[in-house]
Amino acid sequence: MTGNKYVALNFSNTEQEGGGLNYQAGKPRRRLWRWWKQLSRFQRSVAYAGFFSIILLALYLFLPSPKPPSSLTSVTQAAVPHHLDSLMGGQKSLVSDIGLELESAFRPSRLEEYIKKVETTTSSNLILAPASVKLSPDGNELWMLNKVEVDERVDKHQESEVRDEAQGDIGLDIPVSVQLTPLSRKKVPPKGGVHFPGPTNERQEAVVQGLKHAWTGYRRFAWGHDHLRPISAKPQDWFSLGLTLVDALDTLLITGLQEEFDKARAWVEKNLIFDIDKDVNLFEVTIRVLGGLLSTYHLSGDILFLNKAVDLGGRLLPCFASPSGVPFSDVNLATRRAHSPKWSPDSTTSEITTIQLEFRELSRLSGDPTFEETAAKVSEHVHQLPKTEGLVPIYINTNTGQFRSYSTITLGARGDSYYEYLLKQWLQTGRTIDYLRNDYLEGIAGAMKLLARRTPRSNLQYIGELLAGGKDFKPKMDHLTCYLPGTLILGVHNGMPKEHLKFAEDLLYTCYQTYAQQPTFLAPEITYFQLQEGEGSDTYVKSNDAHNLLRPEFIESLWYMYYFTGNKTYQDWGWKIFQAFEKYTKVGNGYTSIGNVRNPLNTRPRDMMESFFLGETLKYLYLLFSDDQTILNLDEWVFNSEAHPLPIHEA
Ligand code: DMJ
């Protein structure tokens, strides 16, 4: 209490005297000093605190504010990670170049600002326009619309012609002359796209009926959403990018569902907008959406899909601006802020190595090398990291660029498609990049040596996992691993060792058993194998792993095996599985994941139809039952990890 009085008295004194603020009252400094000396220590502290607060407030208010939260933009202002120096092939001021590209070339929110700038410009200024690609009038070349020259001297006739051209691509109603840069690339889709005959036999017809059934439910109850919940007849969203619709575009073309495709195309044109304030996963969006758009562009010849892909690609690029160049897992498509998952600075190895096919194709099509070079750097980086006999741990640190050495080694979840894309990138580039082939060979040799085992009784070949950085073996195989037989035979067809074929056949048989041994004839998500001979079966399923998500991997492998061997047994296996899908997963408005493959009387439907069911599973089934395998020739096309075919480039 005493203290309080003391404080009050002193402050009132100050006020009566006019305090140090009364500069008119003569000798102000001495008075100020006396007044200051009269203050208690506490009062002086308060005064200090107030003073510093005012300074801080002033700094906050008057210093220039930082740029918007684009991760790449902030990289341009902060220290430049050295790996980015080479992203642009050694061009000057590299990171700021990327920043500029992203800011001006790919960012629709800048468009208005850009238009204003153009409208007020009177002289002939070159301004970088949003990247946009169009076909040349003869349809034989791609042109990139990348510069807009404001020139008021353009004569009226020429002006309106040019304006029409420009509006088609970027929607500017201003006097511009447009410079179209022809791209030096060859793979332009045939005019009108690739022709597909539609189903030619009963099994294919049945798959098309299944696709129509799934599509109708999606169209009625989840149109434009990521997924359909087929039982509750409700939509489900993950990234809000119309995943099912985009994933299914090329399946609709391949199966000859033109009407359905046309409606989907109209949705893409109007509603597939990437300027959404939402975090998305780089890998998932790359394989499903970017891959889907690029493949649909090739199969349809419709430039709309390429332009959407260019827009999306630019928005995904900030992921690569991590300290090590190992991409962050997530990015906000509107703000372009990229980051790791909230719980860890690590990215997933298979994710960061399963984006290169798509980014490369985007560069080849758009004429902008940034995509290919940026993604290829990641593969090159992973190539020079130490591995366990060619095998990689499933986590990698985005700061250091090093593997999390104690993480699991597996060809299942989070490891799988690292091996797949080594081979497929090598094929895509005309078998020219040796390190990809060598890493693939090493990885498969490592898997055969350290991960492949046989069960004691029935001699089933399977691939297990290494835990704790390689110390412990776990006899567990994800359904995801069943992609491997398909990749192996694709490799053998392209000159990989013959022993890979035997390994592929044996594994394929085991995968088939994971289906055949269940009373539903559907495989669980994960199967375990006995290490020692004991009672009961060589395989077992834990109740948490007994679900089936309508995944494609085994059907995918069946198709590759049938494609290269012509052995109709593979078609028959696929037909049995298709019938099981019909029996246990088909519901009124589509197909549903189920929670339990072990009990046909209680499959525990999960009310979810994943986009890959239309993008992959039904597509691979349709191709598997095809009489004419050359409709998509595997010497000309390489399928991405989400079953979207992309062209193989010449060496
Ligand atoms: C798909 O999205 C892709 O095939 C991916 O590579 C792995 N998993 C799913 C389907 O199971």
Q: What is the mean pLDDT of the chain?
A: 82
Per-residue CA distances from 564 to 254, 479, 633 (Å): 20, 22, 11
The fraction of the chain above a pLDDT of 70, given in percent, is 76
- Distance of alpha carbon 212 from alpha carbon 209, whole angstroms: 5
Encode pLDDT of 539-576 as tens digits.
999 999 999 999 999 999 999 999 999 999 999 999 99
For the cut 90, the answer to whether the pLDDT of residue 89 exceeds it is no
| Higher pLDDT among residues 532 and 37, named by residue | 532
What does the pLDDT read at residue 136? 73
Q: Give counts: helices (H), strands (E), the chain.
A: 24, 21
Determine how many CB atoms are found less than 10 A away from the CB of residue 406.
Answer: 12
Confidence of residue 143 (pLDDT cuts 50, 70, 90): confident
What does the pLDDT read at residue 62? 55
The most confident of the ranges 102-106, 364-368, 584-588 is 584-588
Mean pLDDT over 377-398 rounds to 98
553 CA closest ligand 1 atom index: 11
For the cut 50, the answer to whether the pLDDT of residue 164 exceeds it is no
| Higher pLDDT among residues 201 and 105, named by residue | 201
For the cut 90, the answer to whether the pLDDT of residue 18 exceeds it is no
For the cut 50, the answer to whether the pLDDT of residue 14 exceeds it is no
Query: Is 635 tagged catalytic?
Result: no
Owner of token pair 């500069």: 23
What does the pLDDT read at residue 428? 98
- Distance of alpha carbon 237 from alpha carbon 254, whole angstroms: 26
Query: Is 553 tagged catalytic?
Result: yes
Per-residue CA distances from 240 to 114, 308, 331 (Å): 27, 15, 14
Check if 548 has its Cβ closer than 6 Å to any atom of ligand 1: no
Catalytic one of 279, 553, 610, 616: 553
What does the pLDDT read at residue 178? 44
What does the pLDDT read at residue 211? 99
Check if 615 has its Cβ closer than 6 Å to any atom of ligand 1: no
What does the pLDDT read at residue 37? 67
> Residue 219 is encoded by which pair of tokens?
């169209």
89, 369 in Cβ contact below 8 A? yes
Query: Is 556 tagged catalytic?
Result: no
What does the pLDDT read at residue 20? 30
Q: Is 227 exposed, middle or buried (0-12, 13-18, 19+ CB in 10 A)?
A: buried
Encode pLDDT of 608-644 as tens digits.
999 999 999 999 999 999 998 888 999 999 999 999 9
What does the pLDDT read at residue 448? 98
Mean pLDDT over 589-606 rounds to 98
Q: Which of 28-32, 40-44, 370-374, 474-478 has the lowest mean pLDDT?
A: 28-32
Check if 552 has its Cβ closer than 6 Å to any atom of ligand 1: yes
